[in-house]
Amino acid sequence: MTELNNLQFDAQHLWHPYSSVQNPPLLHEVVSAQGVYLTLADGRQIIDGMSSWWSAIHGYGHPRLNAAAKDQLDKMSHVMFGGLTHDPAVSLARRLIDITDDALQYVFLADSGSVSVEVAIKMAIQYWFAQGKADKQKLLSLRSGYHGDTFGAMAVCDPVNGMHSQFAKVLPQHLFAPAPTCRDDADWQDSDIAEMRALIEANHEQLAAVIVEPLVQGAGGMRFYCPQYLSELRALCDQHNVLLIFDEIATGFGRTGHLFAYEAAGVVPDILCLGKALTGGYMTLAATLCQSKVAQGISADGQGVLMHGPTFMGNPLACRVACESIDVLLESDWQANVLSIETQLVDELKELSSHSLVKDVRVKGAIGVVELNQPLDSFMDWLPKFIVEQGVWIRPFRSMIYVMPPYIISAEQLTTLTTAIKAIVNKLSESVKS
């Protein structure tokens, strides 16, 4: 009996994100990665325009991150965090407290971004429970938002246009406000927040928290909105005694041009979720930070312990690499790099704005989005193969072709990505006409 090769075995036995086992997706086997390049099993090298789902901000095989991981392996790869602690976790917490706002003083180290959202939700509900306000268990979020695929996180994702409608009957029913339409503060109109204000005013006695992705709504549609909205939202939450959670899993660590997106608005959340780029894409790790009033408030009734404890919480290997990743970022000229990427994306993608197939072109920091006026579902039989033939790795979704490259990408490599996007749009246009 002939043994199946990797791709054949994968097609018969492995599930991939958002895929069907009856119609498995086209796959490309990666054998190594270095810098911004993925090397495929057939020898081709392609530029990763996705930073491995927005996490590999330093590219692949970074010597300092490699060395940190190897050094930590020789000491210990894991030890339980219950009743024990270790230097990598303490050092990471020190760094996170140092680089975020002074008000954020407590750190919960979780497994993944979705779990950090789950922890944030628990923090908010337990906080009010300890204050004697057990009715405050509802959450308020934005339409077009995405916060993860676990059950608590799914419940605050867009219930209509999101990916989780078939779970509607088992998910908690929360509240949703329209997504902001202001692209920047010059576009600000009070009507943008009118319905959010009305929902908070009408439901504040039941609301534990508002949770939003600041400035950039990621997997819900790659939408950008203005800092003024966050300023207004912070004021509303303060006025009506509602906690504010910022999900910066995608935006944290410089992606928008600010180290954290909340800095653009000059406001601070009560609870902050971080993930993705936290370890530079080396392994899964996330963190939920909160203000002292939340952490201390959870224990206000004398018995409030935060009810969460993942097996791999505070994993020493992940924490050590995260420490090194943060140091590499802060010691680099990351702001200039992100600004350079932003400027080049604007310059090289702007011509697509007038294309008949294109609805919108938008750029923020190291994020470039070309939104088409129709979904891409009907083109997925040939599109993934065509993209790799352009020498790049881009993963379109819905009607969006977007890139979030590593910050180390060169101008020439970025041009390869933008040239590929233009080729994709032109090829799609030919398909539509035919």
Cα separation, 138 vs 154, in Å, equals 14
**Does the annotation list 53 as a binding residue?**
yes
Residues 48, 276, 282, 407: which is the catalytic one? 276
Does 395 appear as a known binding residue?
yes
Q: Is 309 annotated as a binding residue?
A: yes
Task: Print burial letters for 127-155: b (CB count within 10 Å at least 16), e (below 16).
Answer: bbbbeeeeebbbbbbbbbbbbbbeebbbb
Q: Is 276 considered catalytic here?
A: yes
CB-side exposure of 387: number of CA atoms within 13 Å? 25
Known binding residue 247? Answer is yes
Two structure tokens written together for 236: 């509303």
User: Tokens representing 220?
Assistant: 């819900």
Q: Can you read off the two tokens belonging to residue 250?
A: 């995608």
The contacts of residue 6 (CB under 8 Å, 6+ apart) are 29, 41
Extended beta strands in 235-329, E state: 243-247, 271-274, 286-291
- Nearest alpha-carbon partner for 280 in 60, 19, 108: 60
Catalytic-labelled residue, pool 106, 247, 270, 407: 247
- The first and second tokens of residue 48, run together, are 């990763």
Was 114 annotated as part of a binding site?
A: yes
- Is 225 annotated in some ligand binding site? no
Q: 276, 218 in Cβ contact below 8 A?
A: no
SS3 content of the chain, % helix, strand, coil (to 5): 40, 15, 40
Exactly one of 60, 146, 229, 282 is catalytic; name it: 146
Q: Is 136 annotated as a binding residue?
A: no
CB within 8 Å of 94: residues ≥ 6 apart: none
- Residue 106 bears catalytic tag: no
Binding positions: 53, 113-114, 146, 247, 276, 309-311, 395
Which residues are catalytically annotated? 18, 146, 247, 276
Binding positions for pyridoxal 5'-phosphate: 113-114, 247, 310-311
Binding positions for substrate: 53, 146, 276, 309, 395
